[in-house]
Amino acid sequence: MRDYITSYLNSSGTPGEAGNIFWITVYILLIFAGVAAGVICMNWLERKIMAHMQVRLGPMRVGPHGLLQPFADALKLLLKEDLMPEQADSVVYHLAPLLVVVVAFTVFIVVPFGPSHAVTDMNIGLLFMLGVSSMAVLGIVMAGWASNSHYPLLGALRSSAQMVSYEVAMGMAVLTAVLMTSLHGGGIYGVGGAQESGTGTLSMIGIVQAQAGQHVWFIFKFFPLGLVSFVIFAIAMVAETNRAPFDLPEAESELTAGFHTEYSGFRWSLFFLAEYAAMIAVSSIAVTLWLGGWLRPFPNWHGPQVAIPGFWQAGSSNGVVDLILAMAPVVAFVGLGGLCFLGAWRMAKNPLFRIQMLGLAAFGALLALVGLICVVPAVRDRVQDIFWFVAKVAVSMYLYIWYRSTFPRYRFDQLMKVGWKVLLPIAIGVLLATATLGVVIQAVMAA
C-alpha cells in the first residue's frame, strides 16, 4: 500500500496517466478545495477591488478589512430558506444547479497546473474542456425554464443564444492556438531557436510543452496573429461566463437576476460557485493556450550562472534570471504578508480594534510563513509551476473585475452582432492566416 502511494512521487506524469487511484483522489480533492478557495478569494477581491475603483471601501466589518465576509455570506446562504415557486418543475428545478456545479468543477480534471500537476492528461483535453463547459448552458436553460417565471425564462433564452454563439468564435480562436502547436520552428515567427518537431495536440499539457519547445508563448507567436486570437478568446470567454459587459442573462436592471431570479439560499450559492469556477476554468484555458501555462515569464533572458551551495545549483539554462524568478512566490507571499502587517499597523489604536488587528497580523504572518516555506528548495521546485499558472489566472480574473466596473452592458442584438459579425470572421481569418503562414514558413525553412 505504501509503495503504491509513494511510487507515484517518482513518476513524471500525471496521476491519471500513472493510473494511481489514490493520487487521483488526492488531486481531485486538492483541486476542489483550491477552486473553492479561489472562488472565496474572488468574492472578497471582487468586492474590494470594485469598491476601490468606485471610491468606496467595500466590506469592512466582518473581520479585518472584511476578510471574513465571504464566510459570513456563505453561512448566511446556507441558513437561508430554500424556496421554490409553486408551479415550478421540481425535478428540473433541483437538477439545474447541480448540473451547473458538476460541469464547472469537472473541467478542472485536465487543467495543467504544472507538467505533472493535473488529475490527468487527456489526448483530447482541450476538446473535453470546451465540451464539458459548453454543458453549463444546459443547467442555465433548465434553471430558467423550470422556474416557471418570465424573467428567468428570458434570461435563459438570452443565455443559451449567447453561449452557443460565442462558442463558435471561441472555438475558432482555440483552433488557432492548437494549430500553432503543430509548428516546428521556435521563436516568434518560427524561424529561430530549436527546430523541434511539433505534431499538434489537443492535450492541455502538450500545448504548454509545445510553447516551451518553441520558446515562445502563443500570444506572441506570429505576431499579431497569436495576439488577435487571444483577444478574441478573451472577449468570448467573458461572454461565455455571462460576465459584464456581456452579463445579459443576469442583467439586474432588465431581468432582475435573470435565470437564477427564483433561486435562493444554498441553490443560489451553487450558481454563484459555478459562475466563478467557470471563470477560473476559461481563464485557465486562456492561460494554457496563449500565456504559456505554467511556464515562467522571460524564458529568453539570460544571466550569468551562479551557484549557492545547498540552495541553487549552477547549470540552469538562464542562470541568475532563473534564480530571481524562482524567488517570485516567496516575494509575492511575503509581500502580501507585509501588506497585512502594514494594514494592522495602520489600524486605529483602539481596544475595540484589537482582535481585528491581531487577526490581520496573524493572517499576514500566515502568508509570510507560506512565502518562507517556498524558499525551501524541495518545495520551491514543486510550487514554481503552480505559482506561475495561478498568477496568470489571477491576472485574467482581475480583468474580469475591471471590465465589470468599467463597461456598460451590451444589448442583446449588439451582442449577437459582435459575436457573429465581428469576432467570428476575424477568428476565421486569423485561423486561415496562421495555417498559411505556418505552411509557408516551414516550406521555406525546409528549403
Partner 1 sequence: MSPTNPIPAFDLKEKTYLDSNELIINMGPQHPATHGVLRVILKLDGEKVLGLECVIGYLHRGVEKIAENRTYAMFNPYVDRMDYVAAVSNGLGYCEAVEKLLHTEAPPRAKYIRVILTELNRIASHQLWLGTHALDIGALTPLFYTFRDREEILKIYEKYCGARLTTHAFRIGGLQYEAYDGFQKEVKAFCDFFEPKIDEYEELLTTNRIWIDRTRGVGTISAKDCIALGVTGPVLRASGVKWDLRKAQPYCGYQEFDFEIPTGENGDTYDRYLVRMAEMRQSLRILRQAVDRVPDGPIMAKIPKVLKPPSGEVYHSIEAPKGELGYFIVSDGSTQPYRIRVRPPSFVNLQALELMVRGQLVADVIAVIGTLDIVLGEIDR
Partner 2 sequence: MTPVATPFFFYLLAGLALLGGVLVITRRNPVHSALALILTLLALAGIYLMLYAPFVAGVQIILYVGGIMVLFLFVIMLVDVGRAEKEARFNKQWVVGVVASLALGMLFVSAYVKGKALFPERLARLAEESNTQEIAKFLYGDYLLAFEVASLLLLVAMIGAVVMAKKRV
Contact positions toward partner 2, by CB under 8 A?
Answer: 16-19, 89, 91-92, 95, 120, 122-124, 127-128, 130-132, 134-135, 137-138, 141-142, 144-145, 153, 156-157, 160-161, 163-164, 167, 199-200, 202
Residue 99 vs 280, nearer CB to partner 2? 99
85 binding partner 1? (CB under 8 A): no
* Residue among 146 and 430 whose Cβ is closer to partner 2: 146
Query: Which C-beta is closer to partner 1: that of 248 or that of 390?
Result: 248
Q: Does position 410 bind partner 1 by CB under 8 A?
A: yes
State in angstroms the smallest separation of the CB of 122 from partner 2.
Answer: 7
Stretch that binds partner 1, among 14-22, 118-126, 147-155, 433-441 (CB under 8 A): 147-155
- CB 237, CB 170: distance < 8 Å: yes
Identify what 55 binds: partner 2, partner 1, none; CB under 5 to 8 Å per kind: partner 1
> Which partner in partner 2, partner 1, none is near 404 (CB below 5 to 8 A by kind)?
partner 1
Which grid coordinates belong to 196? 523541434
Q: How many chain residues bind partner 1 (CB under 8 A)?
A: 32
Q: Does 134 bind partner 1 (CB under 8 A)?
A: no
Q: What is the 3-state secondary structure (H, E, C) of the chain?
A: CHHHHHHHHHCCCCHHHHCCHHHHHHHHHHHHHHHHHHHHHHHHHHHHHHHHHCCCCCCCCCCHHHCCHHHHHHHHHHHCCCCCCCCCCHHHHHHHHHHHHHHHHHHHHHCCCCCCCCCCCCCCHHHHHHHHHHCHHHHHHHHHHHCCCHHHHHHHHHHHHHHHHHHHHHHHHHHHHHHHCCCCCECCCCCECCCCCCCCCCCHHHHHHHHHHHCCCCCCCCCCHHHHHHHHHHHHHHHHCCCCCCCHHHCHHHHCCHHHCCCCHHHHHHHHHHHHHHHHHHHHHHHHHHCCCCCCCCCCCCCCCCCECCCECCCCCCCHHHHHHHCHHHHHHHHHHHHHHHHHHHCCCCHHHHHHHHHHHHHHHHHHHHHHHCCCHHHHHHHHHHHHHHHHHHHHHHHHHHHHHHCCCCCHHHHHHHHHHHHHHHHHHHHHHHHHHHHHHHHHHHC
Choice between 164 and 376, CB closer to partner 2: 164
- Stretch near partner 1 under the rule CB under 8 A, chosen from 54-62, 63-71, 167-175, 327-335: 54-62
* Residue in this structure with the C-alpha cell 465571504, named with its chain if needed: 70
Task: Tell me how far, at minimum, the Cβ of 137 lies from partner 2, in Å.
Answer: 5
Candidate segments 52-60, 391-399, 421-429, 433-441, binder of partner 1 by CB under 8 A: 52-60
Residue pair 325/391 in contact by the 8 Å Cβ criterion: no
Examine residue 158 and tell whether it contacts partner 1 (CB under 8 A). Answer: yes
Kindly tell me which residue out of 2, 3, 12, 55 binds partner 1, with binding defined by CB under 8 A: 55
- Closer to partner 2 at the Cβ: 50 or 102? 102
Among the listed residues 42, 100, 111, 154, the single contact to partner 1 using CB under 8 A? 154
- We find the least distance from the C-beta atom of residue 394 to partner 2, in angstroms, to be 28
Instruction: Compute the distance between CA of residue 114 and CA of residue 117 in angstroms, rounded to an integer.
Output: 5
163 binds, among partner 1, partner 2, none (CB under 5 to 8 A by kind): partner 2
Give min distance, CB of 126 to partner 2, in A. Answer: 9
Q: Please report where in the chains the cell 518553441 appears, as a residue.
A: 214
What's the CA gap between 125 and 257, in Å, rounded? 33
Residue 254: contacted member of partner 1, partner 2, none (CB under 5 to 8 Å, by partner type) = partner 1
Output 325 or 423, the one with its CB closest to partner 1: 423
- Return the residues of window 233-262 that contact partner 1 according to CB under 8 A: 244-245, 247-248, 251-256
Amino acid making up residue 71: F
Minimum distance, C-beta of residue 419 to partner 1, in the bound complex (Å): 14
Of 20-28, 84-92, 148-156, 291-299, the segment contacting partner 1 by CB under 8 A is 148-156
For the beta carbon of residue 222, count every other beta carbon within 10 angstroms: 24
121 binds partner 1 (CB under 8 A): no
Q: State the minimum distance, in angstroms, from the CB of residue 286 to partner 1.
A: 22
Interface contacts to partner 1, rule CB under 8 A: 50, 53-56, 150-151, 153-154, 157-158, 244-245, 247-248, 251-256, 404-414
